[in-house]
Chain A
Amino acid sequence: MRISNKEKAYNMMFIAPALILFMVFNLYPILRTIQLSFFEWNGIDRHMTFVGFQQYIDILFYNPIFWRSMLNAGYITLLSLTLQNGLALMLALLVNRQIRGDNIYRVIFFLPPVLSGIVVGLIWRFVYDGNHGILNHVLVYTFGLEQFRDFAWLSEIRTALSAVTVVHMWRGFGYGFIILLAGLQTIPQDLYEAAEVDGADAWQQFKYITAPLLIPVFTLVSILTVLGSMQIFDLIYSMTRGGPAGHTHVPITRIYEYMSNGEFGYATAMAILFGIVLLVVSAAQIYVSKKLNR
């Protein structure tokens, strides 16, 4: 079916409002960011020094600390992709079975994202506290593990990053949970009814109906998880400030560090490079999911 130019123009009306807002409020800041990344600028001075790709070269070849922070974010992202999304999927499937009290669970599982970051930071610092922390209390008095009496989870190289990741996943699974739940709802119920008539058990129903139909939504959730985890910031800042000794620094905390030390141009160059990395990762994800979908 050929579509006339007039129709194409009419179709443009659908995206026009979004496009106009986007051009003004999103594209302009981004273009400005790209422009700034070629300048040395402290954020205040009227004067900016054009330095070309020099800041990019410096980040690429002389800033190993930035790339190490990328690895930390990668670790957080990998754990979130598997554990957090696994948990979200499992809980969504469980609640979707319409077991008793599913209403209550649905509400409760979304409490962590609703809670203020102030409360989340405070509570989890209490949990991980080395001296009389809640976690150590449980380990020592319930399980008799004396070695944890003075164990500061957020200050040990071995555990700091994982400890922060746990909080991040705890805070984030609710989002995946409701998107997946919404995705499960778009699968027509009669498919299951037909399968039941054919004698398919729960696993077979999952494998042949739920899983294939959920792939697009699951891809969406995965991409959002990658973006959310790679760009993690608030939680790190409130829990460890990148410590101990820089072992929980992530790209955004580094970018923020440069920005607040008057290296605005350099920080934007970091952001652009970071964006390119995310672009590659997301493109790979979309590619893989398209392969799976076929």
Chain B
Amino acid sequence: MNVHLIKKRILDSVTHVILITVALTCVFPVFWMLSSSLKTQDEVFTSMRLLPQSWRFSNYLEAFVQADFGVYFLNSLFYTVVGVFFIVFITSLAAYGFARLEFWGRNALFYILISTLLIPIPGVFIPLYLLLKNLGLLDTRTGLLLCYIAGGLAFGIFLLKSFFDNLPKEIEEAALIDGCSRFGLYWRIALPLARPALATLVIMNSLTIWNEFLLALVVLQDRTKMPIQRGLMVFQGTFITDYPMLMAGLTIATIPVVVIYLFMQKHIIKGIAAGALKG
């Protein structure tokens, strides 16, 4: 064995130790959540054991029925998928515009957009509520979605613009000479190249929309339009929290975001293959 290999071995082991330590702290809460979701209410608190005494898988079924997840789940899926789609489409279009194209007031507009990230608006739900009321969109899915999409604009444009800025301009210039339209450049060249950034954006916005409940509970009235977080409310009584049920419900509610992440993170990694830029 040569020195080089030994050095690499040691480096790899150190790497793994660091990674595993961090990973353990991330896995523990999940483990606790799963284990608590299978316990009984008094067991969660009186027994400090990590594993439940008897595995009450029925908690899951019970939680699903009690929280009426059937309805809420589909709603959340709808808000998340449609909302994220529009956020990604609208922000990538705008970010491309800001990064590559010339028009009046480009910089000013960009900074005004971004500055909305900076000012926390206390009680923002009130102006939004009034707005939706005036637009006749209170208690509608469209109204809620519009708020969600608008909420993701500044961040999305900011993120994507820095990625577009970073992409080499040469390919686009070549394509432009080949007679490709501006929209074609965006659609066929810039978007595929920015895939890792788009995937990141999808992940982050899915998380935000999936977990949102304040606005939904303020602007929606009809229970059948509400998102999954509304279901979790049932387990958090005014005084008594039903922890096993809550944890079972939270687990059910967390799975979809994990799935979205699993699908999307592949795109982050599969970014630009070595050959993509040579063409």
Name A residues whose Cβ lies closer than 8 Å to a Cβ of B.
3, 7-12, 14-15, 17-19, 21-22, 24-30, 32-33, 43, 87, 90-91, 94-95, 97, 99, 104-116, 118-120, 123, 132, 170, 175, 178-179, 181-183, 185-186, 188-190, 193, 213, 216-217, 219-220, 223-224, 227, 231, 252, 255-256, 258-259, 264, 267-268, 270-272, 274-275, 278-279, 282
Interface status of B140 (Cβ within 8 A of chain A): no
Name B residues whose Cβ lies closer than 8 Å to a Cβ of A.
12, 15-16, 18-19, 22-23, 25-30, 32-33, 48, 90-91, 93-94, 96-98, 101-104, 109, 113, 115-124, 126-128, 131, 146-147, 149-151, 153-155, 157-159, 162-163, 165-167, 182, 186, 193, 196-197, 199-200, 203-204, 207, 211, 246-247, 250, 253-254, 257-258, 261-262, 265, 268-274, 276-278
Find out whether the CB atom of B261 lies under 8 angstroms from the CB atom of A29.
no
How many Å lie between the Cα of A67 and that of B105 in the bound state? 35
Closest partner residue, chain A, to B16 (CB atom): A99
Known: A18-B90, A29-B127. Contact between A110 and B122, CB under 8 A?
no
- What residues on B are CB-neighbors of A188 within 8 Å? 272, 274, 276-277
Q: How far is the CB of A98 from chain B (nearest CB, A)?
A: 9
- What residues on A are CB-neighbors of B254 within 8 Å? 114-116
Closest partner residue, chain B, to A217 (CB atom): B162
Contact for A26 among B48, B116, B197, B199, CB less than 8 A: B116
How many Å lie between the Cα of A9 and that of B103 in the bound state? 7
Find out whether the CB atom of B94 lies under 8 angstroms from the CB atom of A264.
no
Find out whether the CB atom of A271 lies under 8 angstroms from the CB atom of B272.
no
Find out whether the CB atom of A119 lies under 8 angstroms from the CB atom of B29.
yes
How many Å lie between the Cα of A223 and that of B154 in the bound state? 13
Find out whether the CB atom of B124 lies under 8 angstroms from the CB atom of A29.
yes
Find out whether the CB atom of B159 lies under 8 angstroms from the CB atom of A220.
yes
Known: A114-B257, A186-B166. Contact between A275 and B120, CB under 8 A?
yes
Closest partner residue, chain B, to A223 (CB atom): B158
Known: A26-B116, A179-B200, A256-B122. Contact between A216 and B162, CB under 8 A?
yes
Find out whether the CB atom of A186 lies under 8 angstroms from the CB atom of B196.
yes
Known: A94-B19, A115-B29. Contact between A264 and B122, CB under 8 A?
yes
Contact for A185 among B146, B204, B271, CB less than 8 A: B271
Find out whether the CB atom of A14 lies under 8 angstroms from the CB atom of B123.
no
Find out whether the CB atom of A178 lies under 8 angstroms from the CB atom of B268.
yes
Find out whether the CB atom of A272 lies under 8 angstroms from the CB atom of B119.
yes
Contact for A14 among B48, B93, B207, B274, CB less than 8 A: B93
How many Å lie between the Cα of A182 and that of B278 in the bound state? 20
How many Å lie between the Cα of A8 and that of B101 in the bound state? 8
Question: Of A11, A97, A271, which is in contact with the most chain B CB atoms at under 10 Å from its CB?
Answer: A11
Known: A12-B103, A15-B94, A123-B29. Contact between A185 and B269, CB under 8 A?
yes
Contact for A108 among B18, B27, B119, B207, CB less than 8 A: B27
- What residues on B are CB-neighbors of A132 within 8 Å? 48
Known: A18-B157, A22-B150, A278-B118. Contact between A11 and B101, CB under 8 A?
yes
Find out whether the CB atom of A252 lies under 8 angstroms from the CB atom of B120.
yes
Find out whether the CB atom of A175 lies under 8 angstroms from the CB atom of B199.
no
How many Å lie between the Cα of A112 and that of B207 in the bound state? 12
- What residues on A are CB-neighbors of B121 within 8 Å? 29-30, 33, 268, 271
Question: Of A21, A231, A282, which is in contact with the most chain B CB atoms at under 10 Å from its CB?
Answer: A21
- What residues on B are CB-neighbors of A9 within 8 Å? 103
Find out whether the CB atom of A120 lies under 8 angstroms from the CB atom of B29.
yes
Apart from A120-B29, A185-B272: 12 A-B pairs, beta carbons within 8 A: A18-B91, A19-B109, A25-B128, A43-B126, A99-B15, A111-B26, A111-B258, A179-B200, A186-B196, A272-B119, A275-B120, A278-B119
Q: How far is the CB of A14 from chain B (nearest CB, A)?
A: 3
- What residues on B are CB-neighbors of A24 within 8 Å? 131, 150
Find out whether the CB atom of B269 lies under 8 angstroms from the CB atom of A106.
yes
Find out whether the CB atom of B119 lies under 8 angstroms from the CB atom of A99.
no
Q: How far is the CB of B197 from chain A (nearest CB, A)?
A: 5
- What residues on B are CB-neighbors of A30 within 8 Å? 116, 119, 121
How many Å lie between the Cα of A27 and that of B166 in the bound state? 29
Closest partner residue, chain A, to B257 (CB atom): A114
